[in-house]
Amino acid sequence: MKTLRSLAVLLLVVSSSSLFAQSRTSTDVGVFVVAPSFSDTSFVDEGDTVNIDFEEKTGYGISLNHFWTDQFSTELALQKINADLNLSVDGAPVTINAGELDAESVTALGEWHFRRDSRFSPYLGAGLAHIGGEFKLNPLLLEPGDDPNVDLESETTWSAAAGANIRLTDRLSLAFELKYIPWNPTEKGGVADDAIDVDPLTASSGLRFRF
């Protein structure tokens, strides 16, 4: 009987340790290279259809992610992305580089992680985003003395993400993520009718360090 009680106590200790390990908290920081994809769109001006095409450039991002349990974390992330904006008119052979769109987003997401104890751990996330930026007009299109910088209205909206972490060591992981933010910017003080659909979808790859 004494042996059985000893085994029972040992089992409780082991079980408690296991449960504690499964619900451990941790925090990680991440650095990312970001490849954005913006929505091409068009509008009608005096009977002509004007097409807006984006030529995206590589950006960067950073994140801070806290795990409250093995399955749930909250992440605060910053991304800076940009792209050249090109204009063309239906039927015309010429494409004009109108300038460069710079955008910066801050997202606060709740994330649900799957198989965190394995080397490959996918996750889904959803939450809020605040995004804004500016448009830098092509100097060749300006008159002398014109300001090339056009501030854009910032917007608070929603965001969704899907990604995966691949553990390299106990503290270091490769990270891959897709993130979507709906965004229809206008010039500061402008009207909603002048908004264009940008809706950035970003593909990020980088490293996460747990501490």
Domains within the chain, CATH numbers bracketed: 27-210 (2.40.160.20)
Interval 125-175: pLDDT, tens: 999 999 999 999 998 888 887 888 999 999 999 999 999 999 999 999 999
Q: What is the pLDDT at residue 141?
A: 83
Interval 84-113: pLDDT, tens: 999 988 877 788 999 999 999 999 999 999
HEC profile of the chain: CHHHHHHHHHHHHHHHHHHHHHCCCEEEEEEEEEEEECCCEEEEECCEEEEEEEEEEEEEEEEEEEECCCCEEEEEEEEEEEEEEEEEECCCCCEEEEEEEEEEEEEEEEEEECCCCCCEEEEEEEEEEEEEEEEEECHHHCCCCCCCEEEEEEEEEEEEEEEEEEECCCCEEEEEEEEECCCCCCECCCCHHHCCCCCCEEEEEEEEEEC
Interval 35-49: pLDDT, tens: 999 998 877 777 778
Q: 0.85 cut: is pTM over it?
A: no
